[in-house]
Amino acid sequence: MAEDRFPGWHGTTIIGVRKGGRVVVAGDGQVSLGQTVIKGTARKVRRLAPGGRDVVVGFAGSTADAFTLLERLEKKLEAAPGQLARACVELAKDWRTDKYLRNLEAMLIVTDGDALFVLTGAGDVLEPEHDIAAIGSGGNYALAAARALIDSDLDAEAIARKAMSIAAEICVYTNGNVTVESIAK
């Protein structure tokens, strides 16, 4: 079995929080191979600017696969400027049906400051409930923490940072080195 020979890259935590007219996407910096931390300062949250309109993307999974998907997303956004939902659906269709893309192992959180989506290789383009999306090995921990904080006086960035901190305390594949990108409607 391939996993016996190569344990695989594990984990990360990415969260997107929409509150008060802003969307914040935050991600940790840990890259693990099996039980070993390979890098603690990876940047898994990126700002794209296809056609002059900013889009923020966070990714979990294989880095090379995620970069392939980011390039494809940029092309879809250039073909459909200002139409994030359409670009995401087109990417998800390609991801699910293309023989090469179908094997990519990653998930994305994508926002333009208005819409917030989770994209998966199963062809999903999900709009999360409660204005919070989370992916990766620590995603459920971050999601639960953010859901508990969403009705507090904290802004979107403070909620995302606190949720990431809680996830890092629980998930061994998540660290406290957080990258944050914020975007307004």
**Residue 179: which of 97, 168, 67 has the closest Cα?**
168
CA atoms 108, 41, 26, 57: torsion sign = negative
Contact (CB, 8 A) for 60 and 106:
yes
For the question of residue 179 being annotated catalytic, the response is: no
**Residue 29: which of 17, 46, 15, 12 has the closest Cα?**
12
Q: How far is CA 23 from CA 19, 85, 111, 112, 132, in A?
A: 6, 16, 7, 8, 9
Could you give the CA distance from residue 66 to residue 106 in angstroms, rounded to a whole number?
6
Binding site for Na(+): which residues?
168, 171, 174
Binding site: which residues?
168, 171, 174
Q: What angle, rounded to 10 degrees, do the helices at 84-97 and 63-79 form? A: 130
Could you give the CA distance from residue 149 to residue 167 in angstroms, rounded to a whole number?
14
What tokens were used for 53? 């309109």
- Considering the candidates 12, 13, 111, 179, report the single residue annotated as catalytic: 12
- Residues annotated as catalytic (active site), given as ranges: 12
